[in-house]
Structure 1
């Protein structure tokens, strides 16, 4: 399976990650995370394979996150409730998400990308 790159084109971090992928000549399928967000099942799979805590999947700097007052809710909700919430709106999901079906990275960190994808 090739790389799948969930991104939001207006996001500066996503554009940096895309440039990194292009600069390293990695081929990928890009998916607009707001127009075609990952399903709840896909999000649960990403969460399990990433090894990250569920709260790392939230776009904590996003307007929607603040509007919904999720800062406290994330601390008290179950994983299942949080996955449902993430699946409800692509703007709540931290981006970009990059996966090859086995490994998953959330957000963009050049060092992490080099270690995981090269």
Structure 2
């Protein structure tokens, strides 16, 4: 299974992550998260593999998150509703989201990338 790098091209953090992957010779398929957010089943699999809490996948600093008042709404939503919401709009997903080979990273932290993606 190949590595999938979900990112927003205009995001500086995403560009740093992409540069790190390229500089370290990591092969990946790039997907524009705003044009092609992961489908619900794919997102469910990514979340399960990550072992992270579902709330870690929300872009809490994003405009849409604030506009939709999701901080309060998420408290009453089921996990299925949250996953459906995330898959409906890539701008709600914390990025970059890198997934493959049974591993996941959310956001960009160079140390995490070293530990997870370095060959």
Instruction: Please give the range of the TM-score, normalised by the shorter of the 2 chains.
Output: over 0.9
- 3-state secondary structure, aligned to 2:66: helix
Counterpart CA distance in 2 for 1:55 and 1:75 is 10
- 3-state secondary structure, aligned to 2:105: strand
Counterpart CA distance in 2 for 1:83 and 1:11 is 22
Counterpart CA distance in 1 for 2:76 and 2:107 is 23
Counterpart CA distance in 1 for 2:31 and 2:87 is 15
Cross-structure match for 2:43: 43
Q: TM-score, normalised by structure 2?
A: 0.95
User: Which consecutive unaligned segments of at least 5 residues does structure 1 have?
Assistant: none
- Return structure 1 stretches of 4+ with deviation > 4 angstroms: none
Q: How many residues align?
A: 118
Q: Please report how far the alpha carbon of residue 80 of structure 1 lies from its aligned counterpart in structure 2 after TM superposition.
A: 1.0
Q: Please report how far the alpha carbon of residue 57 of structure 1 lies from its aligned counterpart in structure 2 after TM superposition.
A: 0.4
1:33-71 deviation per Cα after TM superposition (whole angstroms, max 9, x unaligned): 001110011110111001110000001111110110001
User: Which consecutive unaligned segments of at least 5 residues does structure 2 have?
Assistant: none
Cross-structure match for 1:85: 85
Structural mapping, 1:1-118, within 5 Å: 1-118=1-118
